[in-house]
Every structure is written in structure tokens, then in C-alpha cells.
Amino acid sequence: FLAEQPDLNWRNPDVKAAMLDVVRFWYKRGVDGFRVDVCYMVMKDPQLRNNPPNPHWEPGQNPFDRLLPAHSQNHADIHKFNRWLRETNDEYDNRVLIGEIYLSIDEIVKHYGQGDEFHLPFNFHLILTTWNPPAIAEVVERYEAALPENAWPNWVLGNHDRHRFASRVGPENARLGMMLLLT
């Protein structure tokens, strides 16, 4: 999203080969895996169409929301990208791929693939859920029901994109949240 963050064309075979070689470079040096930032936005529309304007956006709102991401996120080809990374990952023992994915539960779980995509597509739904038992239970039940067979569930209560968990829910609830992550 910044000039310092190049948006590469993974459809170009030379770019793909070069980037997978970068992954191998770091694996050979002993890294345990990768957390892939906004991985669901890597593969864009093959026709490179512009995203349409968001008719509900108003000045003062987040500029990112000015356009509807119809052509720039979660394109069907993203699963090819996920599998390319996983195939490269699996050339090495005991490595993990984690994907940052802000999507619906039904879309997040597709990024596990058939065990051939991300080991852990981040599940940020607890960050976005009202912190009360019925709301939490509903999200937990919906997510766990949607998980593919043999998929590891994961939960995130905070990250660099949101206010700290304890600041949002208070110290007493923060302790409960930490216990929830351990269950």
C-alpha cells in the first residue's frame, strides 16, 4: 500500500521464479516460516481492471475504503499463489506459512486449501467481535464448523492494525482472552 512496498506481477514466470528463490534463500538460512502480509491481495484481476468506486464512502473515512476491492482482493487465482508458496515451503522440513487474511470465515478457510495452501490463514474475527460471551461463542462455533478436516484453528486478539486487546476490553477481560487463546 506504500511506494516502499512493490506490488509484483506474480503472473510473470520470471517474477514468480525470482520470488520463490527469495523464499528458498531465507529457508536455507534457517528461518522457520513466513507470515505473508495481505496475501489475499497478491493476485490481481488478469485484465488489470480498476476497482469500482464505493458509493457509500464519504470524505473523512479511511481512504482505502474509497474503492470496492472487486478486482484486487481474493481473486480466484490467489489459490495458485498459495500453492506455489506451499510447494516451495514443503521443500524444507518443519516450516510454516501464515497468511494475513481479512475476509469472512467462509473465505478464510478456503486458504487452507486441501492442506496444500497456508498452514494458518489468520483468523481475525475475535478482533472484530463485540467482547461478550454470546458473540464470542457464535464466532467460535461458526469458525470451527467451517474448518476443513485436519486444519489447525487459530485466533488473533490483537495486532498492529488494531488497538491493543487490553485497551479494548479492559484488564479483567484481557486475562480471560489470554486464557481463551490457550484453549
Residues marked active site are found at 37, 100
Q: Helices (H), strands (E): how many in the chain? A: 7, 3
Give the closest residue to 156 by CA, choosing from 181, 120, 119, 133: 181
- The answer to whether the Cα torsion of 141, 182, 161, 35 is positive or negative is negative
| Alpha-carbon span 136 to 50, nearest angstrom | 37
Question: Edge-to-edge strands of the sheet including 96-99?
Answer: 33-36, 96-99, 120-121
At which residue does the C-alpha cell 481479512 appear?
102
